[in-house]
Structure 1
Amino acid sequence: MTRDWRAWHEGYDDPGSGLAWRLAAVRGHVAEALDRRAGPVRVLSVCAGDGRDVLGVLADRPDAARVSATLVELDPVLGDRARAAAAATDADVTVLTADAGDPATYAGLPPADLLLLCGIFGNVSPADIEHTITAAPALCGPGATVLWTRGRGRGFDDLDADVRRWFGAAGFVETAHETLDEGHHPTVGAVRLDVEPPATLPTLPALPALPALPPDRRLFTFR
């Protein structure tokens, strides 16, 4: 690991921090995405950490049982924390202790209605950001929402316009974009895959498992 991610997560506990602001923003968009869909919802969180963004929302929802979530996290301690938090929800949660940058990790998973790419783009190269965005539709079902985060200042190159353009080129429509104009200027974006979902139904039809992503290139590598 390039840094102590367990210690990094302690920043969420400071209510005045950029991380706390980002967490609240992401949770808000997670809740909105769940509210927009009736019936079962499939969630995939990449580099999920301890899962507090998704699991913090599910813990407070009476309809959490309709959610099936897969959280991918390499650090086993953070993964165990996510499993413990998942036990406090009614959702069907699977925590994979696996390399989120390896395409093989996603083979056989169901397409996501909500995909979280949070805490990734600030730790990988611009080329890896673009490649991950280009690959994102292969992880999604029709009309899926994707949430992403990245800083824009204090040590971060400002790639905000590029990230938004890359999502557009990959077939996504932006639905939200917000930033905190202090510190490292954390930014939270929400996009929707530009395929309209079917009319609201009490249940969603079963979808085939995801095809294997091209195995010859990693999605990203933390630096």
Structure 2
Amino acid sequence: MASETDWQAWHEPYADENSPLSRRLRLVRRAITAWLDERPGEPLTVVSACAGQGHDVVGALATRADAHRVRATLLEYDSRNVTAARAAATRAGLANVDVRRADAGRLSSYAGVVPADLVLMAGVFGNVGDYDVRRTVAALPQLCAGGATVIWTRTRRAPDLTPALRNWLQDAGFAERSFHAPDGVLFSVGAHRFTGVPRPLDASGTLFTFVR
């Protein structure tokens, strides 16, 4: 994963509950909660790409009495963020959250943890090239179980890629469940249900490389 950004410092705006990053986080958590509520009582699996400090998954699960039925794998490359995410999961008592130091841009990192019932691509599509966004979307059927949900985020900074991204998801076998693009900010949050046929994981493949 090629990147010059300090991804630990990138998380600092979360300290301000009114920052765009915090507002986006609340929408992602809300989408995770809605997904859990739609599938009550089931044992479920989650994989989060470029999970950072795990604010979305850990935060959503920490408030739920049924968190024990969810087995989540968080993939994060920055070792400092891995440490922070593990500590957060431990504080929340989430023994079924596994935080791994891994390059989520390589399909080999998903071996043994997919197909998943929820795939999180939060903070990914805004940091990779358009070609890699499309390539990742095309590969999502390798990560998804039947009926899985994908939650994703993307900036709408010009040129806005979200219309094309939503079409690519449809072409890959995903039905849109929600799309939030709040006024006054550039971020967007989408949730799509996989209606296609899962494909075997090609662990030799590449999804994306960060360009920031």
TM over 0.5: yes
* Contact 1:138–1:213 (Cα < 8 Å) also in 2: yes
Matches within 5 A, 1:10-25: 10-25=12-27
* Contact 1:46–1:72 (Cα < 8 Å) also in 2: yes
Map of 2:189 onto structure 1: 188
* Contact 2:133–2:208 (Cα < 8 Å) also in 1: yes
For residues 221 and 179 of structure 1, what CA distance do their matches in structure 2 show?
25
Map of 1:202 onto structure 2: none
Structure 1 residue 12: Cα displacement: 1.4
Instruction: Look up the SS of the partner of 1:134 in the other structure.
Output: helix
Out of 191, 203, 206, which is 1:218 matched to? 206
Q: Aligned partner of 2:49: which letter?
A: V
Map of 2:173 onto structure 1: 171
Matches within 5 A, 1:143-162: 143-153=147-157, 156-162=158-164
Map of 2:74 onto structure 1: 71
Instruction: Look up the SS of the partner of 1:5 in the other structure.
Output: coil
Instruction: Look up the SS of the partner of 2:8 in the other structure.
Output: helix
- Once the two structures are overlaid, the 10-residue window that deviates more, 129-138 or 103-112, is 103-112
Is residue 129 from structure 1 mapped to residue 133 from structure 2 by the alignment?
yes
* Contact 1:113–1:142 (Cα < 8 Å) also in 2: yes
Per-residue CA shift, 1:84-142, capped at 9, x if unaligned?
11111345011110111011111222311111001011111100000000101110111
Q: Aligned partner of 2:101: which letter?
A: T
Over the matched positions of the two proteins, sequence identity in percent amounts to 47
> Which blocks of at least 5 consecutive residues in structure 1 are unaligned?
197-209
- Give the root-mean-square deviation of aligned CA atoms: 1.6
For residues 14 and 106 of structure 1, what CA distance do their matches in structure 2 show?
33
> Which blocks of at least 5 consecutive residues in structure 2 are unaligned?
none
For residues 5 and 129 of structure 2, what CA distance do their matches in structure 1 show?
16
Out of 34, 37, 43, which is 1:35 matched to? 37
Map of 1:204 onto structure 2: none
Map of 1:101 onto structure 2: 105
Q: How many residues align?
A: 206
4+ aligned runs moved over 4 Å, structure 1? none
